Amino acid sequence: MFSVFCVTKGAFMRYLYERREKMDFEATYAACFHKVFRFALSMAGNANEAEEVAQETFFRAMKSISTLKSDAAVDAWLFRIARNVYISRLRKRKRELPEEHMDTLPDDHSIEQQLEDRDQAARILQALHRLPEPYKEIFTLRVYGDIPYRQIAALFDKGESWARVTYYRARMMLTETVEKEME
């Protein structure tokens, strides 16, 4: 049986507009998921937790996409949501998350080199997790998120020079901490 229904022009235009937003959101998801996941991983130190945070981030972003200003950087907006999701999850659990998460090293390293590299990476990650805020977050956004200083500054409602100085100080604190541990 063939059925025909009538749709007003306004309803059809609304449908097309909503469909466009959905397609844009899907493209944003595909383009940004890995960055958000890496950012979440750097905070959580655990791939499973990072996956949960990233998924929740995009769920919340989809619900509140209308709050995104047209001139705002989508990456920075998503990182802010991810940060809030992670903090909410921490508060909810009220316990420390494991800090040990190591990526697999390339096969061309010797076993000794792999162990040495893994130990060094673990020391750096532990030192990063001990940094006070905002140093930890600025360093994470810059290194793991590959976010420009301008966008980092916007996340914190500060100037670009503040973001640069804070990143530099975080790097110096990390270097100092790791060097002390190696002595």
Does the structure show a pLDDT above 50 at 4? no
Longest Cα separation, the chain:
82
Distance CA 159, CA 123 (A): 31
What per-residue confidence (pLDDT) applies to 179?
83
What per-residue confidence (pLDDT) applies to 101?
40
Distance CA 144, CA 128 (A): 12
Q: What is the mean pLDDT of residues 12-30?
A: 59
Distance CA 94, CA 150 (A): 33
Q: How confident is the model at residue 165 (pLDDT cuts 50, 70, 90)?
A: very high
Of all residues in the chain, the percent with pLDDT exceeding 90 is 4
More confident residue, 112 or 93: 93
Listed in sequence order, the residues at least 6 apart from 126 whose beta carbon sits closer than 8 Å to its beta carbon are 99
Nearest Cα to Cα of residue 59 among 88, 29, 16: 29
Q: How confident is the model at residue 104 (pLDDT cuts 50, 70, 90)?
A: very low
Ranking 2-6, 55-59, 165-169, 172-176 by mean pLDDT, the lowest is 2-6
Q: What average pLDDT does the chain have?
A: 73
Domains, the chain, in order of start with CATH, read: 9-98 (1.10.1740.10), 109-183 (1.10.10.10)
pLDDT tens figures, 107-129: 444 555 655 666 777 777 788 88
What per-residue confidence (pLDDT) applies to 162?
93
Q: If you ran DSSP here, which 8-state letter would residue 64 be given?
A: T
Does the structure show a pLDDT above 60 at 144? yes
Q: How confident is the model at residue 169 (pLDDT cuts 50, 70, 90)?
A: very high
Nearest Cα to Cα of residue 137 among 54, 20, 43: 43
Distance CA 183, CA 168 (A): 23
